[in-house]
Amino acid sequence: MAEELDTSDIDRWVGVPLSQSGLVEPIQLNDIRRWAQAMHHPNPLYYNPEYAAASRFGQIVAPQSFTVVCEAGHGARPSTQGHIPESHMLFAGDEWWFFGPRIFPGDRVTIDQMVFDYRKTTTKFAGPTVVQRGDNHYVNQRGERIAIQRSSAIRYQPATARASAAFDERDEEIDWSDDDLARITKEKHEYVSSIIALGHDRRSWDSVQVGDELPAKVIGPHSVVSFTTEWRAYSMTGWNTAWRKQLADPGNSGWTAEMSVNEEHAGWDPEFADGAYYGAARGHLNAKYAKRIGMPRPYGYGASMGAWVLDYLSSWAGEWGYVHHTNTQYRGPALSGDVTYLRATVTDKSPDVDPAMGKIHLDYVMTNQRGEVQAKGSGEVLIPRD
């Protein structure tokens, strides 16, 4: 039996401010467009200037999911702080609290980070495992709180995950027929039509009833191409685009050598610290390294799955509403060749502290084409009461 993971180095970081981070330049309009493109999010509010000009914002605005782009590590750093020898990590979930301010082109966002807590457990996937949570506080240049993200990661030893072969039965990638692809395209069109139908109008409080089901959102089929597009839309993946101010010794997470950056070579070529070419993200795009960490083939990003949830709920709320809170647990990977379906149900309605807004409570689930759960959770969106 594999030994319990050594968490002694994590203990010294719990509750300790770690760093501040952000982007070197102000957020650009094309940063927002590129993000909508990468997240498979065809809401014209985020890329079409004519459509956005007629909105309540009068211009293109960033989707709420764009918040994570502003951080120099897509929110994962405080959930992987502390040394665990010969380890790797996967996203386990995200909890978000949003406070209302939106992100616009020209904004600057600063993020403060801290380890929140961790616990030890045993999983079918990797045996002895650490589930670690870390907080990211997002604030704009006006001092307005945008959001808090509590990111969760599972930290494990890849050798144990390879031995467990938990995902080996998923080794075959689907070769979708033309008829299948036509059906998927039809499902995508039905979803986008629901966004266009609401347009710039307010979603009516009275029209929402407990038990209502939101239109299903379809993403995929996923591929190395789509995963690469996602990765490159994270602004920190561009060379020299992010800054980080360490407020404490950053330590070393303990990644295996093959999933680590090459610090020596990175001094003369940043490709060697790029993450996708060399580093912890290379398993997302390369089947060889996916298998090294216990995955059967290339797989999607946990941070993107969290973004899909935020995009899904916020587009349903409409431009006069917004996502207030989500708590999402990631249960399985979005593998290359898979299709993802997002569905949600209204579970309750209640007043908000702001008398002009009402709170809609929802449960949501993300599944693949086989009905296997990729993520699930609950959240609240705020919409006007008049």
Q: Which two tokens stand for residue 108?
A: 């600057």
pLDDT of residue 242: 87
Contacts of 68 (CB under 8 A, 6+ apart): 74, 75, 149, 234, 303, 306, 307
What 3-state class would DSSP assign to 335? strand
Strands 17-23 and 109-123: antiparallel
| pLDDT single digits (tens) 258-302 | 888 888 998 999 999 888 999 889 999 999 999 999 999 999 999
Q: For residues 75 and 69, give the distance between their C-alpha atoms in angstroms, rounded to a whole number.
A: 9
If you search the block for the tokens 């999607």, which residue do you land on?
Answer: 300
| pLDDT single digits (tens) 133-168 | 999 999 999 999 999 999 999 999 999 988 887 776
Q: Are 171 and 103 in contact (CB under 8 A)?
A: no
Q: What is the mean pLDDT of residues 24-31?
A: 94
CA–CA distances in Å: residue 313 to residues 209, 360, 362: 16, 10, 9
- Answer yes or no: is 213 within a domain: no
| pLDDT single digits (tens) 321-345 | 999 999 999 999 999 999 999 999 9
- Answer yes or no: is 198 within a domain: no
Domain count, the chain: 1
- Answer yes or no: is 384 within a domain: no
- Answer yes or no: is 214 within a domain: no
In this structure, what CATH number is given to the domain that contains residue 65?
A: 3.10.129.10
| pLDDT single digits (tens) 121-134 | 999 888 999 999 99
pLDDT of residue 71: 82
Query: What is the pTM assigned to this prediction?
Result: 0.95
Domain span including residue 117: 8-174+224-322
Radius of gyration of the chain, Cα coordinates, nearest whole angstrom: 20
- Answer yes or no: is 260 within a domain: yes
| pLDDT single digits (tens) 230-257 | 999 998 888 989 888 877 766 678 888 8
Angle made by CA atoms 255, 261, 264, in degrees to the nearest 5: 125
- Answer yes or no: is 240 within a domain: yes
- Answer yes or no: is 60 within a domain: yes
Q: In terms of Cα–Cα distance, which of 333, 107, 316, 131 is closest to 207?
A: 316
- Answer yes or no: is 373 within a domain: no
Asked if residue 61 has pLDDT above 60, the reply is yes
